[in-house]
Amino acid sequence: MKILILCTGNSCRSQMAHGFLQSFDDKLYVRSAGTHPAEHINPMAVSVMKEAGIDISDHIPVDVENYIDEPWDYVITVCSNADATCPSFKGRVGKRLHIGFDDPSKLSGTESYVTGEFRRVRDEIKNAFARFYLSEIKKVELPHCTCE
């Protein structure tokens, strides 16, 4: 199973999603990329992922053009900009999904506030990709929320 996760900078949200998804199943071929990749991964993303027991410190931002010719079972965008500007893939794409998250790297404020927001987004990514993994990859039927 080949999964590509896209964001704009490929420095934060897509890298966290990549880390979580790979941790769920090391048999998956997971890559992440950006439509306009940053120079390096966001240090706060590395830090909050370490807190969750996942080391993404060796990840580097990659341009989506590196993967454009490959076939993918899933291409998943995690930010609205990447969703809107997702390129047309020359290779086959089984399913294209959007699972969006706030961008904690754009925040300013106290260190405590910014760190808290990175943790919040990290946890949202973990939960959303766990649901994706269970429902799409493992084909486990999950209960629907009847919350208001």
Taking only the tens place, the pLDDT of each residue in 94-141 is 999 999 999 998 898 999 999 999 999 999 999 999 999 999 998 866
Give the total number of structural domains in the chain: 1
Q: Residue 80 is part of which domain span?
A: 2-137
Q: Which two tokens stand for residue 129?
A: 């990709």
pLDDT > 80? residue 90: no
By residue count, the chain amounts to 148
pLDDT > 80? residue 72: yes
- Of the pLDDT bands very low, low, confident and very high (cuts 50, 70, 90), residue 147 is very low
For residue 80, the model assigns a pLDDT of 81
pLDDT > 70? residue 83: no
Label residues 95-107 b or e (16+ Cβ within 10 Å = b).
Answer: eeeebbbebbbee
How many CB atoms are located within 10 Å of the residue 124 CB? 16
In a domain, 142, yes or no: no
In a domain, 145, yes or no: no
In a domain, 54, yes or no: yes
By C-alpha distance, which of 73, 74, 45, 76 is closest to 58? 45
**What's the CATH number where 70 sits?**
3.40.50.2300
Question: How far apart (Å, rounded) are the C-alpha atoms in residues 141 and 70?
Answer: 30
Residue 79: active-site member: yes
For residue 141, the model assigns a pLDDT of 63
pLDDT digits (tens, 9 = 90+) for 10-66: 999 999 999 999 999 999 999 999 999 999 999 999 999 999 999 999 999 999 999
In a domain, 22, yes or no: yes
Q: Which two tokens stand for residue 119?
A: 């943790």
Residue 12: active-site member: no
Q: Which two tokens stand for residue 18?
A: 């990549």
- Angle (nearest 5°) at CA 92 between 38 and 32: 20
Catalytic residue among 7, 12, 145, 147: 7
Backbone dihedral angles phi then psi of residue 76, each to the nearest 5 degrees: -120, 120
Question: How far apart (Å, rounded) are the C-alpha atoms in residues 36 and 51?
Answer: 27
Catalytic residue among 12, 79, 145, 147: 79
